[in-house]
Amino acid sequence: MLTLDQVKLKSESKLVGLQPVIVAAAVALIESCYARGVQIIITQGLRTIAEQDALYAQGRTKPGSIVTNARGGYSNHNFGWAIDFALLLPDKRTVSWDTLRDDDKDSLPDWSEVVEEAKKLGFEWGGDWRSFLDLPHLQMVFGLSTTQLRVGREPTAAQIAAAYAVIDKLQQEADEGMSKIEELEKQIKDLAEAVAGLTKSKDTLKQAAIEQGETISKVSGRVETLEGKASMLKPPAWAQPAIEAAVAAGLMDTPAGGSYDFYRTLTVLNRAGLLITIHEGGK
């Protein structure tokens, strides 16, 4: 997503030559829409009389569709009191005039959100006209007609001051909205880092548990070995001759259950010929 400054930069060239209050309102519109998750670009601003005549010829004497009913000098664009806008798409390059798009997924068409913000700022929308719908068109003419503008009439200072007051108020609200968005983005970033840290800790704990399990298994094996040496349910095969000799000598009657060391000692005694049977002893 582009930053607000990057979005505003895309419209900068189209604001040149417009009436100062229209520039302020256009910038405020870009900001308030951005705060709502909708990015727009100003596609038309001031038009010369020649440019307006060329646009009027489109669809009439030149190829293309009719896009205006105003000849040169009969459009508020010619006096710097109007702008046209389009939606800036997520690819950051393409624009759209699709009035039903909802890229911010809030169940409201993005176009309608722009119009709503524009009207708050005092703009008149061409989509409300009955004679010729001009959906991208926004103007602020303070009740003046193009006939009056052609002869040099201008809005009063009080009208301009009132317009700036509305713009400043809406701009302040947009700034507050942006602050909330930035704070939310920071919270999301912090949460993502926390989750990443927990995932890493989980992996570390998992590895430690595996290593601890392996250690416990080794210890358990050693304990079992020691227990086996202390009390062997089945005597080792190498001690069998000594056990038989001891039983025959009447020295033991329970071959099983002795310790490893017991069987080793018994074997040493047997090999030394010290396990004499009772029969041999009675000769």
Give pTM, 2 decimals: 0.65
d(CA 170, CA 28): 7
d(CA 259, CA 130): 107
Residue 219, pLDDT score: 55
Q: What are phi and psi of 122, to 5 degrees?
A: 105, 5
Nearest CA to 233 among 254, 216, 251, 214? 254
Question: Would you state the structure tokens that stand for residue 131, as one six-digit string?
Answer: 């004679």
The residues facing 44 across adjacent strands are 84
d(CA 33, CA 48): 28
With residues binned 3-state (H G I as helix, E B as strand, rest as coil), the percentages for the chain, rounded to 5, are: 55, 5, 35
d(CA 19, CA 163): 12
SS3 26: helix
In order along its 283 residues, the chain shows pLDDT tens digits of: 899 999 999 999 999 999 999 999 999 999 999 999 999 999 999 999 999 999 999 999 999 999 899 999 999 999 999 999 999 999 999 999 999 999 999 999 999 999 999 999 999 999 999 988 999 999 999 999 999 999 999 999 999 999 999 999 988 887 777 777 777 777 877 787 777 777 777 777 777 778 777 776 675 566 455 545 556 677 888 788 888 888 887 777 777 777 777 777 878 787 877 776 544 444 4
Pairing of strands 82-88, 95-96: antiparallel
How many other CB atoms sit within 10 Å of the CB of residue 70?
Answer: 18
Which amino acid makes up residue 141? Answer: V
Residue 131, pLDDT score: 86
| Full set of structural domains in the chain with CATH | 4-178 (3.30.1380.10), 231-281 (no CATH)
d(CA 238, CA 227): 19
Q: How far is CA 14 from CA 45, 72, 81, 98, 135, in A?
A: 5, 18, 13, 21, 18
Nearest CA to 166 among 115, 125, 120? 120
d(CA 263, CA 177): 86
